[in-house]
Amino acid sequence: SQQGEEDPQALSIQEGENATMNCSYKTSINNLQWYRQNSGRGLVHLILIRSNEREKHSGRLRVTLDTSKKSSSLLITASRAADTASYFCAVPQGGSEKLVFGKGTKLTVNP
Amino acid sequence: DAGVTQSPTHLIKTRGQQVTLRCSPKSGHDTVSWYQQALGQGPQFIFQYYEEEERQRGNFPDRFSGHQFPNYSSELNVNALLLGDSALYLCASSPGHAVSYEQYFGPGTRLTVT
């Protein structure tokens, strides 16, 4: 089944550094979404990027989408300790309204 | 404006029992989706309710059932609980059933089956 797969599984950086997470998927999509989850709590929506968009920004977040490579990346610039969380990409399962999540990237930002 | 709320926060049940989890969507949202998240995994789609009907279903057995009420709130029922049902159950609401809408998640219900 189609699934977003994040890479790396875990990332540890220092405050102020940039963090980049990648997501790959298997079939054509009309949009891709990124979510953040703090310590086993509910997920928070970060950005939705549509298939006809190549790049999108929201504050310190930058998301790119390459439909030819079936991949997306999430860049967090000037990271803060509060960015410590798990980050998930989610894609629609082909031909349905189901959102399929990957296993996530666990980001640790050290002060 | 209250976001998505879920109850209870935590729950401990014994194998074979039945459980009901509840969700109230964000104001203005008419679609509710349920997810199961095992430790260290991403959320897995269980099903989606829109207009009081189950519209989409993931790869979960019939032991998992749900309901949506006229006020758009929803319940998730799990019968004949197994140890493997232990997980965080997340409810998400959206202003429509199209997958292009962002999902607003509640804090989840942590279910432990012993």
Min distance B46 CA to chain A CA atoms (Å): 9
Chain A, chain B: beta-carbon pairs less than 8 Å apart: 64
**Contact residues, B window 40-99, toward A, CB-based 8 Å cutoff:** 40-45, 48, 55-56, 58, 88, 90, 92, 97-99
Q: What is the mean pLDDT of residues A11-36?
A: 94
CB of A13 within 8 A of CB of A79? Answer: yes
Min distance B43 CA to chain A CA atoms (Å): 6
pLDDT at A41 over 90: no
pLDDT at A13 over 90: yes
Q: Give the number of other Cβ atoms within 10 Å of residue B54's Cβ.
A: 13
Tell me, what's the pLDDT at B62? Answer: 96
Q: Nearest-5° angle of CA A38, CA B15, CA B23?
A: 45
Percent of chain A exceeding pLDDT 70 equals 95
Q: How high does pLDDT run on average in chain A?
A: 91
Q: What is the mean pLDDT of residues B66-71?
A: 96
